[in-house]
Amino acid sequence: MENRCPVALDVTGADIHGEAAALRKQGPATQVELPGGVVVWSLNSHSVIKRVLSDPRVTKSARNHWPAFINGQIPPDWEMISWIAMDNMVTAYGKDHVRLRKLVGSAFTRRRTEAIKPRIVELTQGLIAALESVPAGEVVDLRERFAYPLPAMLVADLIGMSEDARAKTAKVIDMMVDTTVTPEQAQAVLAGWRGAMAELIAAKRREPAEDITSDLIAARDEDGSRLSEEELTDTIFAILGAGSETTINFFDNSITALLTHPEQRALVTSGQVSWDEVIDETLRVESPLAHLPLRYAVEDIELDGVTIPRGDAILVNYSAIGRDPEVHGDTAGNFDITRENKEHLSFGHGPHFCLGAGIARAVATIGLSTLFERFPGLSLAVEPGELRPLPTFIMNGHRTLPVRLG
Ligand code: HEM
pLDDT tens track for 28-48: 999 999 999 999 999 999 999
The answer, yes or no, to whether residue 263 has pLDDT greater than 80, is yes
Residue whose CA lies nearest to ligand 1 atom number 36? 354
Quote the CA–CA distance of 241 and 249 in Å, as a whole number.
12
Ligand 1 centroid vs 134 CA: distance in angstroms? Answer: 33
What's the average model confidence in pLDDT over 306-321? 98
The answer, yes or no, to whether residue 354 has pLDDT greater than 50, is yes
Strand-strand pairing, 313-317 and 306-308: unpaired
In terms of C-beta density within 10 A (0-12 exposed, 13-18 middle, 19 or more buried), how is residue 132 classed?
exposed
Residues in the chain, total:
406
Q: Is 238 in the pocket of ligand 1 (CB under 6 A)?
A: yes
Residue whose CA lies nearest to ligand 1 atom number 1? 247
Delineate the domains of the chain, giving CATH numbers in brackets. 7-404 (1.10.630.10)
Residue whose CA lies nearest to ligand 1 atom number 24? 243
The answer, yes or no, to whether residue 276 has pLDDT greater than 90, is yes
Q: What angle do CA 211, 217, 219 make, to 5 degrees?
A: 105
Instruction: List pLDDT tens digits, range 193-233.
Output: 888 899 999 999 999 999 999 999 998 888 777 889 899 99
Nearest to 169 by CA among 147, 141, 146, 194: 194
Ligand 1 centroid vs 70 CA: distance in angstroms? Answer: 26
What is the percent of the chain where pLDDT is above 90? Answer: 85
What's the average model confidence in pLDDT over 54-80? 96
Q: Which helix (H) or strand (E) holds 139?
A: strand 139-141
What number of other Cβ atoms are within 10 A of residue 115's Cβ?
10
Amino acid (one-letter) located at 196 = A
Ligand 1 centroid vs 358 CA: distance in angstroms? Answer: 10
Q: Is 49 in the pocket of ligand 1 (CB under 6 A)?
A: no
What's the average model confidence in pLDDT over 159-174? 87
Q: Is 292 in the pocket of ligand 1 (CB under 6 A)?
A: yes
DSSP 389: B
What is the percent of the chain where pLDDT is above 70? Answer: 99
pLDDT at 334: 98
Quote the CA–CA distance of 324 and 44 in Å, as a whole number.
8
The answer, yes or no, to whether residue 374 has pLDDT greater than 60, is yes
What's the average model confidence in pLDDT over 373-392? 98
The answer, yes or no, to whether residue 395 has pLDDT greater than 80, is yes
Ligand 1 mutation pick, 213, 245, 246, max ligand atoms within 8 A of CB? 246
Ligand 1 centroid vs 42 CA: distance in angstroms? Answer: 20
What's the average model confidence in pLDDT over 181-185? 88
Quote the CA–CA distance of 82 and 190 in Å, as a whole number.
6
Name every residue whose Cβ is closer than 8 Å to that of residue 132 and which is 6 or more positions away in sequence. Answer: 374
Q: Is 348 in the pocket of ligand 1 (CB under 6 A)?
A: yes
Q: Is 65 in the pocket of ligand 1 (CB under 6 A)?
A: no
Q: Is 295 in the pocket of ligand 1 (CB under 6 A)?
A: no
pLDDT, mean over the chain: 95
Ligand 1 centroid vs 279 CA: distance in angstroms? Answer: 15
Ligand 1 centroid vs 263 CA: distance in angstroms? Answer: 31
The answer, yes or no, to whether residue 362 has pLDDT greater than 50, is yes
Ligand 1 centroid vs 347 CA: distance in angstroms? Answer: 6
pLDDT at 2: 45
Ligand 1 centroid vs 90 CA: distance in angstroms? Answer: 9
Residue whose CA lies nearest to ligand 1 atom number 39? 352
Quote the CA–CA distance of 250 and 364 in Å, as a whole number.
8
The answer, yes or no, to whether residue 59 has pLDDT greater than 80, is yes
Residue 396 near residue 283 (C-beta atoms within 8 A): no
Ligand 1 centroid vs 280 CA: distance in angstroms? Answer: 15
- At residue 235 the predicted structure's pLDDT band, cuts being 50, 70 and 90, is very high
- At residue 183 the predicted structure's pLDDT band, cuts being 50, 70 and 90, is confident
Amino acid (one-letter) located at 406 = G
What ranges make up the beta strands (E) of 276-373? 291-297, 301-303, 306-308, 313-317
Instruction: List pLDDT tens digits, range 123-159.
Output: 999 999 999 999 989 999 999 999 999 999 999 999 9
289 CA closest ligand 1 atom index: 5
pLDDT at 3: 54
Q: Is 150 in the pocket of ligand 1 (CB under 6 A)?
A: no
Q: Is 368 in the pocket of ligand 1 (CB under 6 A)?
A: no
What number of other Cβ atoms are within 10 A of residue 10's Cβ?
17
- At residue 1 the predicted structure's pLDDT band, cuts being 50, 70 and 90, is very low
Quote the CA–CA distance of 188 and 37 in Å, as a whole number.
21
